Amino acid sequence: MIVCDLSQRDASERLCAEIAARGLRIDALVNNAGYGVPGAYVASTWETHAAFIQVMVTAVAELTHRLLPGMIERRYGRIVNVASLAGLVPSPAGHTLYAASKAFLIKFSESLAHEVRRDNVHVTAVCPGFTFSEFHDVIGTRTSVSRLPRFLWMDAADVAKQGHAAVMAGESIVVTGRVNSAIATLVRMLPQRLIVGAGRRIGRSYRRV
Tell me, what DSSP letter sits at residue 80?
E
Q: 150 Cβ partners below 8 Å, 6+ apart?
A: none
Half-sphere exposure of 94 (CA within 13 A, CB side): 17
Calpha distance 59→16 (Å, rounded): 12
Q: Residue ranges of the alpha helices (H) in the chain?
A: 11-21, 46-53, 59-74, 96-116, 135-139, 142-145, 156-169, 178-189, 192-206
- From the list 128, 134, 133, the residue with the least C-alpha distance to 178 is 128
Q: How far apart, in Å, are the Cα atoms of 12 and each of 20, 34, 124, 128, 179?
A: 12, 15, 20, 25, 35
- Which are the catalytic amino acids? 98, 102
